[in-house]
Amino acid sequence: MEVLLIALVGIACIAFLTTYIGQRWRSKKGGDVVIETPVEPVEECCGAHEICETDLINKMSEEIIYYEDEELDAYKNFEENDFNDDQIDEFREVLYSLKENEMEGWLRSLELRKIELPSIIKSEVVFMLVRN
């Protein structure tokens, strides 16, 4: 048992010394020089930030952007439970024609235009946002 313990300690010491000596030798040779390559800005949000810069800009903007949904202006000042099935389908048609990165902008556009989403569409939007 003592022989096994001494052998394990010896192997650990040898591993430590070789790692230590190897690192010092590489640093003297200049092997640890890190060359940073410039990173080009990404057009779309990469999702790596807590707050995406593009989302922040969109939220600050008061400009109304239409997503081929001008017909929804007819529902200005409706309550979320005032819609019939055909009207809900109009919202659904626009929602499912959007690209992933357009959904937040579309919601902001509706907010600026004072258009409330039907309650069922709100549920679908939440599901889609959580899924992505």
Q: Domain-by-domain residue ranges, the chain?
A: 1-30, 53-131
pLDDT digits (tens, 9 = 90+) for 49-94: 555 555 555 555 678 889 899 999 999 989 999 999 999 999 999 9
pLDDT digits (tens, 9 = 90+) for 6-44: 877 778 768 776 777 777 777 776 654 545 555 554 455
Q: CA dist 97 to 18, 87, 106, Å?
A: 61, 16, 11
Cβ neighbors of 54 (< 8 A, separation 6 or more) are 44, 45
For 106, other C-beta atoms within 10 Å of its C-beta total 20
Q: Is the pTM of this model over 0.75?
A: no
pLDDT value of residue 84: 95
